[in-house]
């Protein structure tokens, strides 16, 4: 992202044909015309990751908050909201021309992105209660695979980095809309709007506890048969 900041926000009075840039490579010429230096660009970029110190927590908090009112449907609602805002703000960030406004958009984008992770963690235990570890592993694998794909896309988007943010943001925005089609535990985020019976999250929690209890009982029986 710091490369994007250096190349995006340039001094309008900078002349790339100036003789002072005669012995400078093409990529470094772009950096020379930037209104910020590398250290400042790195500092601005660090804001994105620093939001992770509390934004994941707030995502989980909001997920629990809506679950009290709409149960599992509420968790899906807040997940869709933050994911849609994440995609929209990412597209907006890629088209900013004013640096202070771009930093403000970056903060909001990062907040929504990290909150999306928190709401994601709030849904994990209810997707397949008997295989929570497996579900978590698949989600982690998907995150790693996605990172590889987006890094490859970034490699081929250096000539038009705004397009990169538009593409990835559009994917996130479309993914948020797909949440409407997602069923977790047999229930959908639109259930409250359709006046369906409220899903009792306590039933899945009870199922999780029963699974733990059964596992412990099986272990005690196994140990007893060894005697």
Residue 35 has pLDDT above 60, yes or no: yes
Candidates 12, 32, 13; CA nearest to 22 is 32
State the pTM of this model.
0.76
pLDDT of residue 19: 46
Task: Let me know: does 28 contact 3? Beta carbons within 8 Å.
Answer: no
* Average of per-residue pLDDT values in the chain: 79
- The beta strands (E) that lie in the chain are given as none
How far is 146 from 143, CA to CA, in rounded Å?
Answer: 5
Contacts of 29 (CB under 8 A, 6+ apart): 16, 21
Q: What is the DSSP letter of 126?
A: H
Give one word for 186, left, alpha or beta, with left for phi > 0 and alpha for psi -120 to 50. Answer: left
**pLDDT tens, residue by residue, 39-93:** 888 899 898 888 888 888 999 999 999 988 888 888 999 999 999 999 999 999 9
Helices (H) and strands (E) in the chain, counts: 9, 0
Q: Confidence band (pLDDT; 50, 70, 90) for 9?
A: confident
Residues 162 and 174 sit within 8 Å (Cβ to Cβ): no
pLDDT digits over 114-160, tens only? 999 899 988 888 888 888 888 888 888 887 888 888 888 888 887 88
pLDDT tens digits along 19-29: 444 444 444 44
């Amino acid at each position: 992202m710091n490369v994007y900041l250096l190349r995006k926000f340039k001094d309008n009075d900078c002349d790339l044909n100036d003789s002072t840039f005669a012995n400078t490579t093409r990529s470094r010429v772009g950096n020379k015309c930037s209104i910020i230096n590398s250290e400042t660009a790195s500092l601005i970029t660090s804001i994105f990751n620093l939001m992770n110190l509390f934004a994941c927590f707030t995502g989980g908090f909001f997920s629990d908050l809506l679950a009290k009112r709409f149960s599992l449907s509420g968790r899906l609602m807040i997940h869709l909201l933050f994911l849609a805002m994440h995609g929209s703000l990412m597209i907006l960030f890629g088209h900013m021309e004013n640096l202070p406004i771009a930093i403000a958009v970056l903060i909001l984008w990062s907040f929504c992105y990290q909150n999306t992770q928190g709401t994601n963690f709030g849904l994990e235990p209810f997707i397949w209660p008997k295989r929570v570890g497996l579900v978590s592993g698949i989600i982690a694998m998907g995150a790693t695979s996605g990172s590889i794909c987006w890094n490859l896309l970034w490699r081929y988007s250096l000539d038009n980095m705004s397009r990169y943010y538009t593409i990835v943001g559009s994917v996130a925005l479309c993914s948020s809309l797909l949440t409407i089609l997602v069923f977790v535990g047999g229930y959908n985020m639109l259930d409250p709007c359709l006046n369906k019976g409220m899903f009792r999250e306590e039933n899945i929690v009870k199922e999780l506890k029963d699974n733990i209890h059964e596992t412990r009982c099986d272990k005690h029986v196994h140990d007893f048969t060894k005697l």
